[in-house]
Amino acid sequence: MKIIRPGLDRLLESPERFLKGNRIGLVVNQTSLTLEGESSIARFARHSRLQLCRLFAPEHGIYGVDQDMVPIESMVDPLSGLAVESLYGTDSHSLAPDPGRLNGLDHLIFDIQDVGSRYYTFVYTMAHCMETCRQAGVSFVVCDRPNPIGGVQLEGNRVSEGYRSFVGQYPLPNRHAMTAGELARLFNEHFGIHCDLTVVPMEGWSRDLWFDQTGLRWVPPSPNMPTVATATVYPGMCLVEGTRLSEGRGTTLPFEQTGAPFIDPLSLAGHLNGLALPGVFFRPHFFKPTFHKFAGQVCGGIQLHVTDRERFRPVIAGVATVLTLARLYPEKFEWRTEPYEFVGDRPAIDLLYGNDALRTAFAPGTQTPKEIEAAWAPDLAEFSRLRENFLIY
């Protein structure tokens, strides 16, 4: 197996190659580990040539213990003794650091494992920090890590104007096939942040590699992203968050299963398998969440078994799942109406999908999954041309 060296290791090995000063802040969580498995906080705290001054925590906290959309409180980090400042509080203003908190820093360093789907909030925390660094005159450094579901396959539609949010701040497709470092370059140059940006590339990564082919340790980036298999289905099955169906939170298979107490698993699996989607088998299934939607209730539904991840298309699988459920259970299927990621004036499904086209496509006799998939082609072609300008690997 090929061993990939993360950007973090390259930076720690030769900081003078990438850094002009020694006073740093870190935007990190539990995924920020060296190749040997040591926390970046510990390594920076004892580095002889660098002074670790401040820590900032994204959604789920600096050690990834909090559930989705739970405000993160400031704390003291036991490894370094430094205060940890939250970048995910009670409103949208909490998503970026106060420029004043960067006073005295030479560099703000970002090192967090992304999952390759545009809904995942860490890359937008990165973007907000880039904007603040520009205002404060502080250099921003990204230590790059692999896209765990590969850097080749694009899928989905781009986020439309009027639907931007913390689960889709820029017009990316659902599966963007870029690393955090490549996205930082895209955000900075094309979308106009224009901060003083340095990306520390990985050594040895190629775009065709999945995370389990890198030799790196998989550390769950958030409580409901336990495995690479979860990340594989997430670009499509996260759409279930925009409904009142369970997306499997509160179980050991979040996003790999979905259902509700009123669903007949055999009927649902039969309809979905009848679509002959590539690389996936839908198994009829019962499960009982211990928390979140339908906690303590037996849900009927399906589990996705990915049989060929190179052929599998997670976004259309998620679209087909939600579309099929909406049509099988029109009297009981409901969209989520509560505020979602600090937005209360648009439905969660519209923010996740990037426009209202999916929500309005569910009337009987309207678009099929194949027709929805075909409609993504112009967006994907345009984004494919754009991303070529910012790829590193």
Confidence of residue 31 (pLDDT cuts 50, 70, 90): very high
Do residues 149 and 179 lie in contact, with contact meaning Cβ atoms separated by under 8 Å? no
Look at residue 60 in the predicted model and tell me its pLDDT. Answer: 96
Is 279 in the same domain as 214?
A: no
Is 123 in the same domain as 255?
A: no
CA–CA gap between residue 182 and residue 162 (Å, rounded): 25
Residue 290 has pLDDT above 80, yes or no: yes
Residue position matching structure tokens 């303590």: 296
Residue 364 has pLDDT above 70, yes or no: no
Residue 149 has pLDDT above 70, yes or no: yes
Asked whether residue 385 is domain-assigned, the answer is no
SS3 state at 70? coil
Is 239 in the same domain as 218?
A: no
Is 20 in the same domain as 160?
A: yes
- Strands 139-143 and 107-111, by their bridges, are parallel
Look at residue 360 in the predicted model and tell me its pLDDT. Answer: 86
Do residues 231 and 298 lie in contact, with contact meaning Cβ atoms separated by under 8 Å? no
Is 101 in the same domain as 191?
A: yes
Confidence of residue 123 (pLDDT cuts 50, 70, 90): very high
Is 268 in the same domain as 217?
A: no
Asked whether residue 37 is domain-assigned, the answer is yes
Residue 2 has pLDDT above 80, yes or no: no
* Cβ atoms within 10 Å of 80's Cβ, excluding its own: 19
Q: Which residue range forms the structural domain that includes residue 54?
A: 7-223
Q: What is the mean pLDDT of residues 235-246?
A: 98
CB crowding 240-250: b at 16 or more within 10 Å, else e? bbbbebbbbbb
Is 268 in the same domain as 324?
A: yes
Q: What angle do CA 374, 256, 156 make, to 5 degrees?
A: 20
**Which residues make Cβ contacts (< 8 Å) with residue 372, sequence separation at least 6?**
316, 319, 323, 357, 358, 361
Asked whether residue 382 is domain-assigned, the answer is no
Structural tokens at position 285 = 């299934």
* DSSP element (H, E) containing 384: helix 377-387
Is 185 in the same domain as 262?
A: no
Asked whether residue 373 is domain-assigned, the answer is no
Is 160 in the same domain as 281?
A: no
- The rounded percent of the chain whose pLDDT value lies above 70 is 99
Is 172 in the same domain as 207?
A: yes
Question: Which alpha helices (H) appear in 238-313, and where do they start and end?
Answer: 265-273
User: Which of 187, 17, 205 has the alpha carbon at shortest distance from 107?
Assistant: 17
CATH number, domain with residue 216: 3.40.50.12170
Domain boundary among 172, 189, 223: 223
Asked whether residue 58 is domain-assigned, the answer is yes
160-218 confidence digits (pLDDT tens): 999 999 999 999 999 999 999 999 999 999 999 999 999 999 999 999 999 999 999 99
296-325 confidence digits (pLDDT tens): 999 999 999 999 999 999 999 999 999 999
Asked whether residue 274 is domain-assigned, the answer is yes
78-87 confidence digits (pLDDT tens): 989 999 999 9
Asked whether residue 123 is domain-assigned, the answer is yes
Rg (CA), the chain: 21
Q: What is the mean pLDDT of residues 150-156?
A: 98
SS3 state at 339? coil
CATH number, domain with residue 268: 3.90.1150.140
Structural tokens at position 347 = 């439905």
Domain boundary among 179, 202, 223: 223
366-377 confidence digits (pLDDT tens): 788 889 999 999
Do residues 160 and 354 lie in contact, with contact meaning Cβ atoms separated by under 8 Å? yes
Do residues 77 and 55 lie in contact, with contact meaning Cβ atoms separated by under 8 Å? yes
- The rounded percent of the chain whose pLDDT value lies above 90 is 95
Asked whether residue 376 is domain-assigned, the answer is no
Q: Model's pTM, two decimal places?
A: 0.97
CA–CA gap between residue 170 and residue 281 (Å, rounded): 32
CA–CA gap between residue 349 and residue 346 (Å, rounded): 8
328-358 confidence digits (pLDDT tens): 999 999 999 999 999 999 999 999 999 999 9
Look at residue 200 in the predicted model and tell me its pLDDT. Answer: 98
Domain boundary among 192, 223, 254: 223
39-61 confidence digits (pLDDT tens): 999 999 999 999 999 999 999 99
Q: How many domains does the chain have?
A: 2
86-98 confidence digits (pLDDT tens): 999 999 999 999 9
Longest dimension (CA), the chain: 67
CA–CA gap between residue 393 and residue 384 (Å, rounded): 15
Is 316 in the same domain as 277?
A: yes
Do residues 237 and 258 lie in contact, with contact meaning Cβ atoms separated by under 8 Å? yes
Look at residue 365 in the predicted model and tell me its pLDDT. Answer: 60
Is 100 in the same domain as 122?
A: yes
> Which H, E and C letters describe the chain, residue by residue?
CCCCECHHHHHHHCHHHHCCCCEEEEEECCCCECCCCCEHHHHHHCCCCCEEEEEEECCCCCCCCCCCCCCCCCEECCCCCCEEEECCCCCHHHHCCCHHHHCCCCEEEEECCCCCECCCCHHHHHHHHHHHHHHHCCEEEEECCCCCCCCCCCECCCCCCCCCECCECCCCCCECCCCHHHHHHHHHHHCCCCCCEEEECCECCCCCCCHHHCCCCCCCCCCCCCCHHHHHHHHHHHHHHHECCECCCCCCCCCCEEEECCCCHHHHHHHHHCCCCCCEEEEEEEECCCCCCCCCCCEEEEEEEECCCCCCCHHHHHHHHHHHHHHHCCCCCCECCCCECCECCCCHHHHHHCCCCCHHHCCCCCCCHHHHHHCCHHHHHHHHHHHHHHCCC
